[in-house]
Amino acid sequence: MSEKLSSQHEYRVSRRRIRGCTECDLLLALPPLKAGEKAECPRCKHILVRRQTNPAERSLALTIATLITLALSVVFPFLSFNISGIGNRIELTETASTLISLHQPLVALSVLLTVIILPTVYLLSLLWLCIGIVRGQHLPYSQLIARTLGYVTPWMMADVFVIGTLVSLIKIIGMADIELGLSFWTFCSYAVLLLLTTQSVDRDWLWLALNSEPKAPRNVQLGRSASQQGLAGCHTCGLVNRLSEARCQNSRKHSYRCLRCNDPLHPFHKVNNQTTLALLAGAVIMYFPANLYPIMVTTSLGDSQASTIFKGVLLFFKSGDWPIAIIILTASIIVPVGKMLALLWLCYVVKQPASTLSPLTRVRLYRITEFIGRWSMVDVFVVAILVALIRNGSIMSVEPGAGALSFTVVVVLTMLAAIMFDPRAIWSSANATASSSPSLTAPLPKEDSHV
């Protein structure tokens, strides 16, 4: 059940329920929520809170199950193939170790980080937090650990790796006998459970359990931008801070930290897209060698054939594998190019208030670009799997090409560019503050009441 923030003042506002929307900077109050309900910003429709039933126990159970499936995925065989008595069997970790042996350590590191290391860090961190909450006694460094969860989440790509595995299998299934090991099935379960685990985390409830929420500053007005009132909502724990009180001591002039979680605040001052544009420039530059140089080199009976991304797509089309060709075309060509163009356009349009697209449409475009960026890693994972699996010298083997590293860099840079883009600039440039509900602009009562 979805609960939009009420346009009518049906309850007394508590200063402990004040939030600043991280995507449009609107200052608002959370309504009372039951398990299964969510609250979204009335202006930009960003989901602020999603309540879960028994959140600590739910996350704890999912975390343990996910860790078990991950351990099984690492221990048992992942894939094997056989062609005319010649074959190979690999484990999951060999998709990275083989790349290292072939002088591609950075590509190997990206595979290892996104598929195993960062998910393990996330799961162990969440396990640590949930155990402390269930016991009613927080374990050491719980708040510090909780701060890291949001930074790790975008870089976990087990689900993308599953798609990459399926693409790899379809690529070689016509010329070899494929056997799926136990690790393949446990890894698919691991990818699904990891997704469910991340969705089970209610950041608002988590910080309430770790640190009873302080009150927001007095004399603030709901329905107005936080930046207009010298305020900033913490992107990590949600607390609204007055910047004059959150300034760092012995630090840079405009450096602020949250009074609750001590994470850096990101107050909105003005439209500033220099970081995003610099990252996009790097991605555009790296995109040319990523497509001009081969992403992998296939050797069969002593004959080596280099394959670029576009050439690989054409081969799939010619062989009749249209679904796989469309997946690779979308993930490796359409998505990176579309994401770069969309971010460039957003960087331009935030400084041009007059636009045919509404602020809500623009922010939805931004959310799409942020979501789809990680799926470009499919091609990198395909290379990692084929390189590890097909290793039979001059008879049949696959090696990574020079384009593999360039394409990995493109994916990372475009993801960073989307993360560094501030969607609050969209609403600032459009002067959309007045679009919020008038009933939300009343000042807070002097005495707070719990809601």
Share of the chain above pLDDT 70, in %: 86
CA 365 to CA 371: how far, in whole Å?
10
Query: 173: pLDDT confidence band, cut at 50, 70 and 90?
Result: confident
**Continuous segment of H or E residues that includes residue 288:** helix 274-292
One domain, residues 4 and 98: no
Give the pLDDT band of residue 160 (cuts 50, 70, 90). Answer: very high
Longest dimension (CA), the chain: 81
Q: Is the residue at 257 inside a domain?
A: no
* Domain end marker among 208, 243, 264: 208
Q: What pLDDT digit, counting tens, does each position of 50-106 carry?
A: 888 888 899 999 999 999 999 999 999 998 888 776 778 889 999 999 999 888 999
Q: What is the pLDDT of residue 7?
A: 37
**Are residues 26 and 44 in contact, defined by beta-carbon separation less than 8 angstroms?**
yes
Please tell me which residue, 222 or 396, carries the higher pLDDT value: 222
Q: Do residues 29 and 64 both lie within one domain?
A: no
Stretch 164-184: mean pLDDT: 84
Are 278 and 422 part of one and the same domain? yes
Q: For tokens 């971010």, what's the residue?
A: 343
Burial of 248 (0-12, 13-18, 19+ CB in 10 A): middle
The CATH number covering residue 323 comes to 1.20.140
Q: How many residues does the chain have?
A: 451
The chain-wide mean pLDDT, for the chain, equals 83
Pairwise CA distance, residues 64 & 131, whole Å: 11
Least confident stretch, 13-17, 94-98, 271-275, 404-408:
13-17
pLDDT of residue 116: 95
Can you give the residue range of the structural domain that contains 113?
55-208
| Rounded average pLDDT over 279-283 | 94
Tell me whether residue 240 is in a domain.
Answer: no
Please tell me the total count of domains within the chain.
3
Residues 67 and 161 in one domain: yes
Residues 136 and 196 reside in one and the same domain: yes
How is residue 4 annotated by DSSP? E
The CA distance from 71 to 92, in Å, is: 11
Cα gap 404→98, rounded to integer Å: 14
Residue that wins the pLDDT comparison between 409 and 305: 409
Tell me, yes or no, whether 8 and 124 share the same domain: no
What pLDDT is stored for residue 399 in this prediction? 84
Give the whole-angstrom CA distance, residue 33 versus residue 106: 45
Q: What is the pLDDT of residue 354?
A: 60
Same domain, 97 and 179: yes
Task: Give the pLDDT confidence score for residue 413 in this predicted structure.
Answer: 95
Do 293 and 368 belong to one domain? yes
